[in-house]
Amino acid sequence: MSAAKTYLDLVNDVLIELREPIVSTVTFNSYSTLIGKWINDAKRRVEGSWDWQLLNHLVTFDLVYGQTSYDLTALDPRINGRARIRKNPQNVARALAFDVTYPTPGQLFHMPADWVHQQQDKLPIPVTETRPIYFGLERYNDGTKTGIRCILWETPVQDMNPDNPQTPRTWNLYFCAPQDDLVNDTDAIFVPWEPVEKIALDIALNERGEELGEPGTTIEQRVQQHLSDAIGVDSLEQEHNTVFFPD
């Protein structure tokens, strides 16, 4: 596997391909700053194309008596507004989400957030449950960041774990969590750097116009090829994402 590269490394690699002088910092001049923006644009494109192994992230939290809303971003900053719940490879209709409380663990059910709100609003008395299993995820923006909340249909009761009343119920939710935009020169990229660099280079060449001489459809084909090559390598260690499992 190729070594990770920093934000400055990526910008300088693109500048070299463009026959431009390398810089000592991403914001050294207006053009290097623009290349930095294209690096982040390309990074987002790559992150959204596949559940990359290095973006897989587990969020663990305990249920609280009477609480039906949990700010996952506050609990774990890696869960930004672009994070997405991963699918269960053995049943893609289910999310990788589990109640892992001993001795009664079980599968959780991911439902649309609107469904959860409708269930809550239609019933005059909240549904209470020792083992809540239905949840939704909703994105929010508080003016400073975008994040994700986990909302429960059933309200946890005080003794959620009858086998051990002093122990709360613990949930594990598995996410694909894209990295925040690269900002500092030394920020290392999580996803494969090769397609990010090549896509940013294609954007730069296309912006110059006269140096490329290729129609936009050809650029898109090149982008797809960069992504396909990187996904092919990453999928070798994630065969469950490309193999069908019957229920």
Q: What is the pLDDT of residues 134-150, one digit of tens each?
A: 999 999 999 888 999 99
pLDDT at 112 over 60: yes
What proportion of the chain, given as a percentage, has pLDDT over 70?
85
Structural tokens at position 41: 């644009």
Q: Which residues of 50-85 are buried (b: 16+ CB within 10 A; e: fewer)?
A: bbbbebebebebebeeeebebebbeebebbbebbbb
pLDDT for position 166: 74
Compute and round to an integer the Cα radius of gyration of the chain. Answer: 22
Cα–Cα distance measured from residue 217 to residue 59, given in angstroms and rounded to the nearest whole number: 40
Mean pLDDT of 167-183: 95
Confidence of residue 246 (pLDDT cuts 50, 70, 90): very low
Beta bridge partners of 138: 149
pLDDT for position 219: 60
Mean pLDDT of 86-101: 88
Calculate the average pLDDT of the chain.
Answer: 87
